[in-house]
């Protein structure tokens, strides 16, 4: 299970390492060209990639989770504040659309009334988001043995 704030599970899985079973993408930062002032070296995207987007367009594309979408992606739950002032809601939608286009399972949930970091929500609403995340993680990790506990023999 992968919980994310600004990245994607890695594409490479060394021999013997388990593949990701799910990805929780919470208001993840992306660097698609045109999303920020491309010439500003102090813009959030520039700080993320270490250069102005205009000076490093390939690095910006590589930093975008959309660029890493593939048909073997694990299931995704994308939670994004509908009123996010730092990362536009459309970016969460772009990720969800790209995942859907390659046939990956994705659940995109804009959160009404939420700014970045769930600002503007009541404690109860944040608890519902947390519970949805836990439910998603459980659904992704529960396999044939997921609901069973091993008995300890005396």
Nearby residues of 112 by Cβ (< 8 Å), 6 or more positions away: 82
Write down the pTM of the prediction. 0.71
Sheet-wide strand order for 76-81: 2-4, 23-26, 76-81, 106-111
Residue 27 binned pLDDT confidence (cut-offs 50, 70, 90):
low
In this prediction, residue 12 carries a pLDDT of 46
pLDDT digits (tens, 9 = 90+) for 51-70: 999 999 999 888 888 888 99
How many of the other CB atoms lie within 10 Å of CB of 7? 15
pLDDT digits (tens, 9 = 90+) for 69-106: 999 999 999 999 999 988 889 989 999 999 999 999 99
């Amino acid at each position: 299970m992968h919980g994310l704030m600004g990245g994607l599970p890695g594409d490479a899985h060394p021999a013997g390492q388990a593949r990701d079973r799910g990805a929780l993408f919470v208001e993840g930062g992306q660097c698609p060209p045109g999303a920020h002032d491309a010439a500003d070296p102090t813009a959030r995207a520039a700080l993320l990639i270490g250069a102005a987007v205009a000076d490093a367009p390939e690095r910006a594309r590589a930093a975008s989770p959309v660029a890493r979408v593939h048909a073997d992606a694990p299931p995704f739950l994308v939670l994004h504040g509908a009123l996010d002032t730092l990362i536009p809601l459309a970016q969460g939608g772009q990720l969800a659309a790209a995942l859907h286009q390659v046939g990956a399972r994705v659940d995109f949930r804009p959160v009404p009334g939420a700014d970045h970091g769930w600002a503007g929500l009541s404690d109860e609403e944040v608890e519902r988001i947390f519970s949805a995340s836990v439910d998603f993680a459980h659904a992704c990790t529960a396999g044939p043995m997921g609901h069973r506990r091993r008995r300890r023999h005396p």
